[in-house]
Each structure stands twice: as C-alpha cells, then as structure tokens.
Chains A and B, each alone.
Chain A
C-alpha cells in the first residue's frame, strides 16, 4: 500500500513568495494532520482534519498560514507571504477512523527553506 505522499520534498524560495505544500493521505484514512518540525520548537501540530473538516487549527502560527482539504485524498498547506522564520520541515500524517488510538502514519516531509 502507498504511504502518505507529500510534495515537494524540498522547496527553496525567496521571502515574500507564496508556498504551497501538498499531501495525499493513505486511502481509507479519515484524519489528516499537518506538523512543523524545527530544532528550536520540535514537532508542532499546526492543524488537523477529520472527514475533510478542520477540527483544530490552534497551532497555525498566524494568518499567513492556511490549510485546506477539498476531498478525502488531498490537502494543501499554504504560506503567503513566506518569511525566513517559516523555514522548517513540514510533515503530513494520516490515520484511520475509530478514535481508538489509531497510529498516525507520516509522509517523508517537505524541507522548506525561505531565503
């Protein structure tokens, strides 16, 4: 079975540009999570969706960040305008329904560098 697929794997762009990160969850998984990982702050949950509906976006740093899940097989995380402090590895993860401690399966991450 295919795992969680993220694209791009690396992104380098200049400050002020719009950045779009993409994620395809595992088929049959109904929960999707976006995380950011930095040396200083570790792994932070930005937002998560259940059945395509955003449940908790309290981790989204500010209005420059937005996330969508238009259908069960695709999600995007957008940063506009981007800033150097947004440089990090961004992970997408998905899990099965059930609420019974289903483990999250992670994609390979997108390493984002804002110059």
Chain B
C-alpha cells in the first residue's frame, strides 16, 4: 500500500517571498504519478501540478514548481512570488499507473501568506 506524508501541518510566508512545501511518499511501484492540490477557504479542490515519475524533468506551472527526487521518494512544491490568494491548504497525492487507479492523499499543510 502507498502512503503519503506531509509532516509540516502549517507554514507561513511573506507576500512575494518563496516557500517550499514538503511531501514524502512510500511505494514499491516504479512508475506512478504525483499531484499537488490546493484547497482555499472556499473549499474547492484545485489541481496545482502533476508529475510523471518516469520523467526526470521537474514539472512547472507558472509560479508553481516541484522538486521531484525519485530515489528519496520526495516531492516538494515550491511557490515563487507568493500571493495572498495562495493562502490555502495544500495536499500532496500519489497515483499508481494502470486502470482503476485511485489517489492517495497526504494530510495536507495549511499555508498562510502574510501581507
């Protein structure tokens, strides 16, 4: 079974600064997918970024990028130029390849962006 660990329950960052959210996972699979989802106070679950494990290049979406370290089973999210709208809970998630695959979520981390 897969597990996803987000050990930091809360973080805070000054507006315009950079912050990194940590995530580790445990799996015996060699090929899989990793995701970060954002849940703002409005409670929507919004996909932030997706990484394919067989791709060495780290995924990037505008101000969001990941540091994917497959050997270390680490998948951190970097938010550059933090904005007030980035205040949210962030969930790391794992998915095996193959049909009928489901997401395994971490517990989430609450990020507060200070003005």
- Residues of chain A whose beta carbon lies under 8 Å from any beta carbon of chain B: 33, 42-43, 45, 48, 50, 55-56, 89, 91, 93, 99-101, 103-106, 108-109, 111
Contact = CB atoms under 8 A, between A and B. Distances in A.
Contact of A42 (B35, B95, B98, B108): B108
Given A43-B105, A93-B45, A109-B43, A99 B50 contact: no
A45 B93 CA distance: 12
B47 interface: yes
Contact of A56 (B91, B97, B102, B105): B102
Nearest to B53: A101
Given A45-B102, A56-B102, A101 B43 contact: no
Contacts of B99: 50, 99
Most buried by B among A33, A43, A91, A101: A101
A54 to B, nearest CB: 11
A48 B107 CA distance: 20
B95 A43 contact: no
B96 to A, nearest CB: 9
Contacts of B98: 99
A69 to B, nearest CB: 14
Given A42-B107, A55-B100, A103 B45 contact: no
16 contacts: A42-B105, A43-B91, A45-B103, A48-B100, A50-B100, A56-B102, A91-B45, A93-B45, A99-B99, A101-B52, A103-B35, A103-B50, A106-B44, A108-B43, A109-B43, A109-B45
